[in-house]
Structure 1
Amino acid sequence: MNISGDPWNRLLDAFSRADAPSVTLTELVLALVVAAALSVPRRSWRYFGLLATATHEMGHAVAALISGQRLSGIRLRLDHSGTTTTYSRSRLASAWSCFWGYPVPAIVGAAFVWCGFNGWGPAAIMAGGLALAASLLFLRNLAGILITVTAMSASVLLILLVPEAFVGHVAVILGVALLVAAVRDLIKLAHLHLRRRERLASSDAYLLWRATSVPSGVWIILFAALVAGSWLWAWQPISTVLYAGA
């Protein structure tokens, strides 16, 4: 990709498959360290966790639209909480959209890792930016707009300013960070059900129990299974580099 070329052409070219990056063991280890640095320490999680929340709520929103529900609005807050409001006469449809919150950051993360290793890193970054842009139609608070516009701007700047060969590495870093974020949020959810039951009204698993009569623990296990499956998917290209460098 020609960094000095026309910006619109560079953004459009991002959707084309690039040469798959040659990721060395050292580069992979550095990428994993950076991903952990984004999603584990409290100070960095304060900011990166906002992207994980946005991805979580977009999972609810997309599932609602797929199932024919009316999407009233999305609210993202700076304390990492969020709300997606939908309307449906079907309990099954409501349960469907309620379910696709916690698994989606892990699924998106695994997709980013796969794309990063297979030459689709720029396309993944741009697709994420477009999805964020579409969500602006449904955002109903200033904090949500600020979070989303910041993430969109970062996506565009990555494509315009970062060499194509390195964008794949960035996609891997973001993907692993989202996978870690999904585990972190699952632990938080389990802690809510075990130790902070007075706040269960904010839990997707609790809302699913109310909608279906299936115990919250079953839903948490299903969330965990999809997160684990996403980690397994992401592990395939990662393990190839690890074994090659061993």
Structure 2
Amino acid sequence: MSIDGFTDVWNRLFDAQPDPPPLLVLLTGLVALAVVLTRLPWRIGRNAITIAHEGGHALAALLTGRRLHGVRLHSDTSGLTLSAGRPSGPGMVFTLLAGYVAPSLIGLGGAWLLGGNRITLLLWVAVVLLLAMLVMIRNAFGIVSIMVTTAVVFGVSWFAGPQVQAVFAYTGVWFLLIGGIRPVGELQTLRRRGRMPASDADQLAGVTFLPAIFWVGLFGVVNLLALGIGTSLLAGAHLADLDLPF
């Protein structure tokens, strides 16, 4: 690559894009909310939440010194991350804790980048994270799921115009922030019905002195805080410019 070509790519990545229209910020948030609240769109979109969830487990396992054996993603939107190490202690706790909070925390990081109008940079960071995840996948559906997602994100980042990039990025970040909350409610519903006895929360209860309901509550609190802060980063300044009737 020539110096001019490298400079062009560098500028494309790190230059701030223009402020998106305030209405775009509002409408993409409403679209993300609609996806989370409706059955079929949520069933499809939940795969992105699962990727983030299992990625959180995997990253926490690596950071705490556990041996990561791989990640599986399933067509029913469930997933499994396998790691080896001590069956208790801080490493196990953080690995189990990371899953349900990962989508919201990733969304919060995305909101921070969008708050600085680094839309293209956000999309390329997403591509890098997805490629890192691909290395850890150990089943066919997971490989296809990650490759398709990566291709879509890269295609938007490289070929789409600024407005399309903005719509895609804002919708995706809103979806992670809002969609990170719903699985916590689903988790507690399944636990209450006795259908999820080996959930992350129950495993955390097994390796700590705190009950599973404490961990479910912690997941919810962290994700709600991430949504609140992320909303401020995404919409605080932009929505103030809208002439809303309320």
For the criterion TM > 0.5, the same-fold answer is yes
1:240 correspondence with 2:237: yes
Match of 1:87 in 2: 84
2:149 maps to amino acid: A
Change (3 A) 1:215 1:125: same
Change (3 A) 1:89 1:153: same
Give the 5 Å matches for 1:1-246.
Answer: 13-19=11-17, 21-89=18-86, 91-92=88-89, 93-194=91-192, 196-201=193-198, 203-237=199-233, 238-246=235-243
Determine helix, strand or coil for the equivalent of 1:199: coil
Structure 1 residue 111: Cα displacement: 1.9
**Unaligned stretches of 5+ residues in structure 1:** none
Whether the aligned pair in 1 keeps the contact of 2:100 and 2:219 (CA below 8 Å) is yes
The RMSD of aligned alpha carbons is 2.1
Task: Please give the alpha-carbon distance, in whole angstroms, between the structure 1 residues aligned to 2:34 and 2:7.
Answer: 33
Structure 1 residue 45: Cα displacement: 1.7
Whether the aligned pair in 2 keeps the contact of 1:115 and 1:168 (CA below 8 Å) is no
Greater CA deviation, 10-19 or 58-67? Answer: 10-19
Determine helix, strand or coil for the equivalent of 2:68: strand
Structure 1 residue 11: Cα displacement: 6.0
Structure 1 residue 67: Cα displacement: 0.4
Task: Please give the alpha-carbon distance, in whole angstroms, between the structure 2 residues aligned to 1:158 and 1:96.
Answer: 34
Whether the aligned pair in 2 keeps the contact of 1:113 and 1:171 (CA below 8 Å) is no
Q: How many residues align?
A: 238
1:158 maps to amino acid: V
Determine helix, strand or coil for the equivalent of 2:241: helix
Task: Please give the alpha-carbon distance, in whole angstroms, between the structure 2 residues aligned to 1:105 and 1:162.
Answer: 25
1:51 maps to amino acid: A
- Cα deviation, 1:48-100, whole Å, max 9, x if unaligned, reads 11011000000000000000100001000010100000111261211111100
Structure 1 residue 10: Cα displacement: 6.9
Determine helix, strand or coil for the equivalent of 1:57: helix
Task: Please give the alpha-carbon distance, in whole angstroms, between the structure 2 residues aligned to 1:121 and 1:149.
Answer: 21
Percent identity of paired positions between Structure 1 and Structure 2: 25
Task: Please give the alpha-carbon distance, in whole angstroms, between the structure 2 residues aligned to 1:28 and 1:220.
Answer: 30
Determine helix, strand or coil for the equivalent of 1:140: coil
TM-score, normalised on structure 1? Answer: 0.89
Change (3 A) 1:218 1:152: same
1:120 maps to amino acid: R
